[in-house]
């Protein structure tokens, strides 16, 4: 037993604590947080530099900075754990070249495996990343056992996404979005459109193959349909089979890379850190995700768009005083640093080279300037300084040979504005620049797709109802040299001269009522259109070479879309998918015109959202095109013969029902005649030899009846 004094002391302590204890029963079981039995939130990063104790903290901080860009790390202030565990060998005074990183979510861990795989940590170290669970699997691997190759999965032939180009009738295709329908049509530029696919397979399954907008890829290989609840679905092949599905909840728009290797999705949600996603189309892998706005970017304006380079090698976006350029397919920052561009307002990629053009306004007593930068070397190819600049707009020619910069200048008082055009010749050494001085306001400028000509709309006042349309050529054809001498009785022809790089004005059309210009993909023909709710809807077809003009009208048209061949153009009245009642719904629909202005087809809808031609990749070289033009008459005969054959087949198909009914009637008449001939003897016997079909048994009498229709009596004095 304890001593008496200990018992007295315990009794005294009990009296002092009396009233402090609860009457509730004591629960000795502590409430711990749920135990995480898997390591799905952890990854192992290998191929790190091996550093001594003096540099260990610096290396750890670099890894923390790199991984926190991907997701949130798990930290603990009590243990001072920052989310990264870096093993260290005390005996060798060196790290072991790998670390374990713990993220807050499994999704961030999966993203880290994808984004950091192959990342160039420095010049000598390229990271390799594995999930922790994968490392556990490799740990139990029996290295002594003989390797047995896994059985390959059975081969599944993928749909031929270029099969539509083998269409024997050389037809073009377009997709329509109207009501709740999404329909792809063929069009041969002569007869009515024919349905190619309307989602009938999906309708039988009770699903919608498109709930929002749809878009063709740049070469027409894929059709992307947007289903905001699920993401983006790609279709292709002869039967429009499902090629792939890309998870992008709330997706509002998609952008294909020019070579169709990558797909960018955007849900326009500023609060979503993964609003923009980059997918690899062939594998379906998510390469990287971005927020809608770059860091430190003001959110009171439109978010700057991502732009692809022509060869899919780079993806770039403008930020504050910089351009961030990412390499594909790793989607890592080019050279681990952005391209510094102080004051940048706009940039564009060249359509045929990895050259970036951007402009920046005047700042800190420095003039405004337009710069051309070669990527990836970041070499400045050309800089043009500009003064008294309010705004610039840049337009590359589709061939990439020229760049037009519309410069809006102001006087010293900044009350008067005027325009001039700076024209860069990118295909010539030194990239010379010419200035076209236009005192009028320039409302639109567009390049001919396959040439050196451009057209622009200008007027003294930008709100003028009547405008001028001027045409210019960057190449001038000098006068032919006169020929001397006579051969026989024939005078020698003048010797033609090659074009020289000199800007020259072709012509100006006065008093036009248009606000948009659309060149035909084949060149030569341009459409001067007056589009919009309050516009006249006039559509003028003008051939710049032959100077012919055809004027048509499509009331309330808001779109003009050329087909890839330049044979047909569509004018449309469409309404937005989002929003309430569209007040011009009664005008919804589209009209198809030939390039000469002849109406080919028209269709109207109660609700009409989208019309888009299927793009067609150019397969012929300039040499092949020249050869075709030289033998054009031969090809014309072949095509005319094919057209007649196709027209004959179409006529036979349309009249097949009539011809079948006519054949039935003729067969019925033949049967009745045969039956009548068989019953002729019985018929004569019943009539006692009288033949009712013999004309000799009839008497013909001619009667003449005269009838006065009117009479008139005149008195002659």
Q: Which of 616, 621, 618 is nearest to 217 (CA)?
A: 616
With beta carbons less than 8 A apart as the criterion, state whether 379 and 373 touch. yes
Distances (CA, A) of 425 to 202, 396, 408, 475, 669: 51, 10, 21, 11, 79
Q: Which of 405, 371, 408, 406 is nearest to 388 (CA)?
A: 408
Beta-carbon contacts of residue 371 (< 8 Å; ≥ 6 apart): 341, 357, 358, 359, 360, 380, 382, 383
- Paired tokens of 328: 């594909």
Whole-structure pTM value:
0.76
- Paired tokens of 437: 């001085």
Q: What is the pLDDT at residue 697? A: 79
Residues in the chain: 717
Q: What is the pLDDT at residue 635? A: 75
- Paired tokens of 31: 């409430």
With beta carbons less than 8 A apart as the criterion, state whether 440 and 468 touch. yes
Which residues sit opposite 543 in a β-bridge?
A: 525, 548
Q: Which of 265, 263, 262, 285 is nearest to 274 (CA)?
A: 265
Give the DSSP letter of residue 677: H
pLDDT along the chain (717 residues), means of 10: 68 69 62 73 94 93 90 88 93 94 91 84 89 84 77 85 88 94 93 93 90 94 93 93 92 95 94 92 91 80 92 95 92 89 94 96 90 95 93 94 93 78 95 91 93 94 90 85 55 66 94 95 94 89 95 94 95 84 78 95 94 89 80 78 80 86 92 87 81 80 87 80
Beta-carbon contacts of residue 435 (< 8 Å; ≥ 6 apart): 420, 421, 422, 423
Q: What is the pLDDT at residue 483? A: 57
Cα dihedral across residues 570, 576, 582, 585: positive or negative = positive
Element (H, E) at 130: strand 128-131
With beta carbons less than 8 A apart as the criterion, state whether 427 and 411 touch. no
Give the DSSP letter of residue 203: H
Categorise residue 457: left if φ over 0, alpha if ψ from -120 to 50, beta otherwise.
beta
Q: What is the pLDDT at residue 22? A: 61
- Paired tokens of 467: 């405008």
List, in order of start, the domains of the chain with CATH numbers: 42-136 (3.30.70.330)
Q: How many CA within 13 A on the CB side of residue 416? A: 7
Cα gap 433→422, rounded to integer Å: 7
Q: How many CA within 13 A on the CB side of residue 604? A: 8
With beta carbons less than 8 A apart as the criterion, state whether 159 and 243 touch. yes
Give the DSSP letter of residue 272: -
Cα gap 433→357, rounded to integer Å: 14
If you search the block for the tokens 């890592």, which residue do you land on?
A: 332
Cα gap 217→199, rounded to integer Å: 19
Q: What is the pLDDT at residue 579? A: 65
Cα gap 414→166, rounded to integer Å: 59
Beta-carbon contacts of residue 365 (< 8 Å; ≥ 6 apart): none
- 266-289 pLDDT per residue, tens: 999 998 888 999 999 999 999 989
- Paired tokens of 102: 């713990």
């Amino acid at each position: 037993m304890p001593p008496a004094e200990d018992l007295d002391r315990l009794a005294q302590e009990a009296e002092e604590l009396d009233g402090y204890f609860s009457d509730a029963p004591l629960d000795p079981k502590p409430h711990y947080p749920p135990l995480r039995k898997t390591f799905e939130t952890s990854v192992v990063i290998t191929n790190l530099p091996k550093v001594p104790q003096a540099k260990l903290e610096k290396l750890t901080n670099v890894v923390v900075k790199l991984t926190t860009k991907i997701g949130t790390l798990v930290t603990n202030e009590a243990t001072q754990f920052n989310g990264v565990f870096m093993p260290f060998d005390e005996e060798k005074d060196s790290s072991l070249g790998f670390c374990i990183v713990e993220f807050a979510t499994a999704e961030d861990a999966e993203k880290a495996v994808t984004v950091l795989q192959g990342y160039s940590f420095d010049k000598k170290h390229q990271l390799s990343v594995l999930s922790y669970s994968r490392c556990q699997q490799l740990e139990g691997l029996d290295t002594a056992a003989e390797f047995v190759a896994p059985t390959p999965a059975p081969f599944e032939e993928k749909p031929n996404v270029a099969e539509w180009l083998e269409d024997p009738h050389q037809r073009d295709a377009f997709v329509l979005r109207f009501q709740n329908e999404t329909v792809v049509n063929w069009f041969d530029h002569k007869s009515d459109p024919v349905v190619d696919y309307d989602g009938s397979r999906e309708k039988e399954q009770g699903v919608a193959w498109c709930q929002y907008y749809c878009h063709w890829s740049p070469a027409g290989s894929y059709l992307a349909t947007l289903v905001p609840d699920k993401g983006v679905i790609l279709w292709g092949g002869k039967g429009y089979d499902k090629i792939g599905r890309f998870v992008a909840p709330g997706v509002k728009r998609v952008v294909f890379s020019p070579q169709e290797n990558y797909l960018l999705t955007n849900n326009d949600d500023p609060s979503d850190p993964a609003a923009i996603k980059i997918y690899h189309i062939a594998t379906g892998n998510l390469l990287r995700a971005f927020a809608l706005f770059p860091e430190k970017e003001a959110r009171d304006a439109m978010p700057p768009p991502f732009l692809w380079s022509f060869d899919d090698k780079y993806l770039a976006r403008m930020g504050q005083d910089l351009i961030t350029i990412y390499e594909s397919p790793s989607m890592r920052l080019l050279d681990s640093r952005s391209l510094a561009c102080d004051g940048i307002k706009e940039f564009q990629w060249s359509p045929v080279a990895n050259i970036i053009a951007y402009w920046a306004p005047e700042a800190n007593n420095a003039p405004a300037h337009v710069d051309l930068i070669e990527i990836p070397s970041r070499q400045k190819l050309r800089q043009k300084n500009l003064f008294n600049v309010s705004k610039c707009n840049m337009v590359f020619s589709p061939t990439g040979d020229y760049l037009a910069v519309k410069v809006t200048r102001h006087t010293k008082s900044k009350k008067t504005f005027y325009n001039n055009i700076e024209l860069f010749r990118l295909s010539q050494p030194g990239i010379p620049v010419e200035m076209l001085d236009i005192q009028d306001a320039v409302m639109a400028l567009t390049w001919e797709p396959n040439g050196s000509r451009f057209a622009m709309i200008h007027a003294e006042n930008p709100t003028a109802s009547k405008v001028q349309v001027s045409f210019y050529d960057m190449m001038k054809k000098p006068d032919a040299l006169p020929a001397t001498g006579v051969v026989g009785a024939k005078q020698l022809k003048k010797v033609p001269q090659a074009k020289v790089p000199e800007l020259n004005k072709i012509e100006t059309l006065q008093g036009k009522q248009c606000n948009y210009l659309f060149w035909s993909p084949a060149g030569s023909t341009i459409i001067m259109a007056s589009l919009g709710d309050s516009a006249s809807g006039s559509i003028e077809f003008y051939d710049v070479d032959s100077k012919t003009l055809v004027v048509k009208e499509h009331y309330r048209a808001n779109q003009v879309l050329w087909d890839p061949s330049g044979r047909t153009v569509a004018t449309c009245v469409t309404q937005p998918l989002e929003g309430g009642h569209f007040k011009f719904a009664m005008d919804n629909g589209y009209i198809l015109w030939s390039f000469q202005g002849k109406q080919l087809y028209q269709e109207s809808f109660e609700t009409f959202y989208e019309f888009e031609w299927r793009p067609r990749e150019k397969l012929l070289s300039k040499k092949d095109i020249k050869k075709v033009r030289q033998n054009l008459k031969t090809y014309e005969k072949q095509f005319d013969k094919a057209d007649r054959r196709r027209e004959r087949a179409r006529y036979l198909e349309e009249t097949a029902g009539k011809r079948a009914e006519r054949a039935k009637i003729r067969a019925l008449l033949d049967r009745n005649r045969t039956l009548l001939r068989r019953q002729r003897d019985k018929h004569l016997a019943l009539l006692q030899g009288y033949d009712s079909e013999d004309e000799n048994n009839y008497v013909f009498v001619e009667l003449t009846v005269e009838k006065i229709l009117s009479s008139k009596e005149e008195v002659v004095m």
